[in-house]
Amino acid sequence: MNVLVVGGAGYIGSHCVRQLVAAGHRPVVLDNLVYGHRGALAPAVRHYDGNLGDEAFVGRVLRDEKIEVVMHFAAYCYVGESVTDPLKYYFNNVVATLHLLRAMLDAGVKKFVFSSTCATFGVPATLPIHENLPQAPINPYGQTKLDIEQALKALAVAHGLSFAAFRYFNAAGASEDGSIGEDHSPETHLIPVAIDVATGKRPNLQLFGTDYPTPDGTCLRDYVHVDDLSRAHIAVFDRLATPGTQLFYNLGTGSPTSNRAVIRAVEKIVGRPVKVIESPRRPGDPPALFADSAKAQRELGWKVKFPDIESIVATAWKWHSTHPNGYGDH
């Protein structure tokens, strides 16, 4: 299939592009490189530098490339920033995405794969988190993702749009061959930050909250490898054939890992200590978040190739150790 990957130079999008190529599809990337990286672009894959909210531009790409399905990864994703600058998130994650969807419908493209998030659930009442739990976001980032989920439902009914929304947990790791990896600016994710401390790029790591009601007092999170996520997105294509199809999937390993366990895994894989400064809890951090991914496993045949934190950290270290300055373009 001809697949437009919006945000295809970003962390998850770039991994998905390579998985699409491996699966025999033809990806085309749309990315304005504000957060994406030129070095993450796959060789021989056409790249359009533009904004997803530019309907005329997007419409031309859809028609010229004969696009059949759109995969959308181009969201702003910093929870803290969404609280301090909510308009930035509403304009990009909601308004620009609605322009993208209208351009799709105008071009007759009615298959959509959406990168959503477990943040739509807020603080869940029960664990693990399955697809039908109530959604009550506690920050603008999660709310903007939920807003698009609701819009997709309406478009499915009104226009026959077929979509799948994947709610990920903690995306982590890097490609197995070490060619692409995780490079955010600023970097806030635990694994790359811990690697930076172990390698001396940062003086220490702030561990937020050590008094949670968990086995070691630190938060429990569900780390899922970025390539495992990508494979699920591609596996759903066949299920989008019927107009108006509405699909929601939670993606995680189902095995929560504590912050301390992540730090220990980094120390073991890198072979150096990670200096930790224990700090108070951050507001809005639930003690535990982990997925029930039985639906994706059952309906998509999805299998996790990287089930444990050490295997995930090992792929991250392979990339970071060969790219000490990241992609070097931000």
Paired residues of 115 in beta bridges = 166
Three-state DSSP at 59 gives helix
* Sheet with strand 246-251: strands edge to edge: 47-48, 26-30, 2-6, 69-72, 111-117, 162-168, 246-251
Quick one: CA dihedral 94, 97, 99, 104, positive or negative?
negative
Of 40, 37, 45, the closest CA to residue 20 belongs to: 45
User: β-strands 220-221, 257-258: how paired?
Assistant: antiparallel
Paired residues of 19 in beta bridges = none
Catalytic position from the list 11, 141, 212, 249: 141
Three-state DSSP at 230 gives helix
| Catalytic site includes residue 141 | yes
Quick one: CA dihedral 266, 267, 268, 270, positive or negative?
positive
Q: Hey, what are 205's tokens?
A: 């790591």
Cβ contact 17:37 at 8 Å: no
Paired residues of 167 in beta bridges = 116, 250
d(CA 240, CA 104): 15
How far, in whole angstroms, is CA 82 from its chain's centroid?
16
User: β-strands 246-251, 111-117: how paired?
Assistant: unpaired
- Residues recognised as catalytic: 141
